[in-house]
Amino acid sequence: MLREMRAAVVTFPGINRERDMAIALTRSFGRAPRMIWHRDTDLSGLDLIVIPGGFSYGDYLRCGAMAAHSPVMDAVRAHTARGGYVLGVCNGFQILTEAGMLPGALLRNAGLRFLSSDCHLRVERTDTAFTSHYQRGDIFRAPMAHGDGNYFADDATLDRLEGEGLVAFRYAPPTGNRNGSARDIAGILSPNLRVLGLMPHPEDLVDPLLGGEDGKPLFDSLAATLAA
């Protein structure tokens, strides 16, 4: 008998991919996630918190910097302390780094332009709740849509991330690393492997009609882990 999984999508003013994320989660989980407004702080009973993409507070300060100080983020920290799972995509990844929940920062794209196109990602490890339905070394497509996706951290941090196996995804050929990210990093994990942040949008590629299902294994992985 499978346990009922409880996922929630947190939205801040200016977030705009919450519907895409809800669709992808519903497809893999078989039920719709709870939608949580950033002023709500009760995250009890949830297994997975997702912070989706968009332009929280317009990105008018630094991307994610305002949202990182929203009351709900203390509740998200408490959720991770309880061993809960967190997924941050695009602006969600930026918010997680601004909140100090993941190391490093997302700088302006190297070409100083917004980049919207499919990119290719290589799966670096498959023994995580987010990646178990991929094969190691798999290269999959995902749309990217960001102006500030250039992952940066100091060398010591990058060495540690790589040494501890916390790089989840890297940009890979044929499209390669278009935003200038250090060591081609597209997504990273927390040391307990329960927090994932990544820039591209697997949630926008979960339907053959929309160009493919390359992103679906990520959500299927979560569904399988959380149901176990």
Binding residues for another protein, per CB under 8 A? 13-14, 16-17, 19-20, 23-24, 53-55, 57-60, 111, 113-117, 143, 145, 147, 201, 203-204, 207, 209-211
Shorter beta-carbon distance to another protein: residue 110 or 227: 110
Shorter beta-carbon distance to another protein: residue 98 or 203: 203
Measured between alpha carbons, how far is residue 135 from residues 132, 138, 167 in Å?
Answer: 7, 5, 15
Shorter beta-carbon distance to another protein: residue 22 or 101: 22
CA 110 to chain centre: 21
Q: Least distance (Å) from another protein to the CB of residue 51?
A: 15
Q: Least distance (Å) from another protein to the CB of residue 130?
A: 19
Shorter beta-carbon distance to another protein: residue 53 or 217: 53
Shorter beta-carbon distance to another protein: residue 19 or 62: 19
Rounded Cα gap, residues 171 and 120, in angstroms: 6
Rounded Cα gap, residues 125 and 58, in angstroms: 34
Of 93, 155, 150, 143, the residue nearest 117 (C-alpha):
143
| Amino acid (one-letter) located at 94 | Q
Q: Least distance (Å) from another protein to the CB of residue 109?
A: 10
Rounded Cα gap, residues 81 and 101, in angstroms: 11
Q: Least distance (Å) from another protein to the CB of residue 110?
A: 12
Active-site annotation holds for 201? yes
Rounded Cα gap, residues 22 and 17, in angstroms: 9
Q: For 13-43, give one letter per residue: b (16+ CB within 10 A) or e.
A: eebebbebbbbbbebbbeeebbebebeeeeb
Q: Least distance (Å) from another protein to the CB of residue 139?
A: 17
**Quick one: DSSP state of residue 172?**
-
The active-site residue, picked from 18, 63, 90, 146, is 90
By annotation, the residues acting in catalysis are 90, 201, 203
